[in-house]
Structure 1
């Protein structure tokens, strides 16, 4: 009898301890300020101001996080909708505090800062294959979520100079684009991989973004890839080849500091939840106008 009583007491104690630990974790999670590293341009955008990111402290109260499907999120494109996906994931997990936005430079610098534990996660998704297994910071330094953008969903347009538009359009129309030279950045690993798989004549790799348009204008290369609705100063110098699109050869995931398993679980659970809701994740990207039916009848080159 004493043995049975002791066993019952141990079971009860285990249950109480587990409940206490769960409550402690939930409390700690709800009160912790989550550090989100992002491009300065997004942090200080009109969208950031509208949703309540304080432009002095760069703090974002979770209560100000907009609903995934709302007027505030309609047409806001990829970077902004991913910020909303992240904040909704934490709100769903019980987080009631605030998010500290941390401005940083390019994607590589953000990964370095995350690996140093100077942030808890990156505010936007990353191409999975852009992570190295040998060059620091390696993939092993992060926790990688399930894909938020599946392979084949990230579509780009083909852009060339005005003085090459007719020739490049003809090459794609007649399926002779293997005679063409593409220009892209050395750091854009997935663009390089995608272009290599297109079996072009060659690739012209450049160190800086602002060199792409001049290289094409001077016919050192024939075309580059860019967002279908791109309106950047560089792309305004180029002309889109109408009727053709290219799917980047990778999926995109969120990167989380490997010492933040609770944040990782919150994101994973939310991604899984959205996928079960008639794939609300893809619908959110459509709502934000990142994934669009506008070009569904265009020829997919790959």
Structure 2
């Protein structure tokens, strides 16, 4: 069975199809009689028993959805370009109607906050009265039942959503190094600073498992196999605290946009990469060479070091 190309529509027919999306439950298509009769001939609508009422066929509903998506995509390009200069680092622009629960959103005033509820209302024709109500968790929860809400008009309102890095091959993740050559980790660590005037460590560590790498002669290496590169969130907290106590005056820590934590006291440095960044990650397997810790001995990983 060959795929059929959508019939060529005039601008008036396209407007009629878009207006038909105003009520997708009954798929009622109301418009000028001539336009509607043309849509019937194209097989995109059919006569209903009620006088001057037409209903979209399955093909008509699909075509109308395609037209709406194309219109929204074009509008989104324009809106996203208009707000690009205001976009925080590590975020992507998203229409309010596309926000989902548990997304981490930068709302402009209080920085990153977690979305706890979203409800979108669509009234009238496609270009009519649309608005979305987004409920955020407070940046610092002082009362468990206190929530702030914002009502935003559609479709032009854009939020900035924190990007979620996609898993990559282990070699690519382990080999990436954002620190400039001939620069120490203490000076060149990327991302937001963790500490009294920056991000809290508890907020920076969003994962439950990490892969640790140590800095040696200007490059990142994995620990020996007998030490295992797999660490838990609690172990990362303990290690970062030990580095801070070892040099409280000049130890530093930062979190990059992909969730990687960097710590250094000037002579010892490490980074903790979220395990979710590794494709097919296994806690009992070395990410450098892919061998099991139970059988790969106690020496260094030759593949990654």
Same-fold call, TM cutoff 0.5: no
The two structures have a TM-score, normalised by structure 1, of 0.28
Structure having the larger proportion of residues in strand: 2
Q: Which one has the bigger helix percentage?
A: 1
- Flag the structure with larger Rg: 2
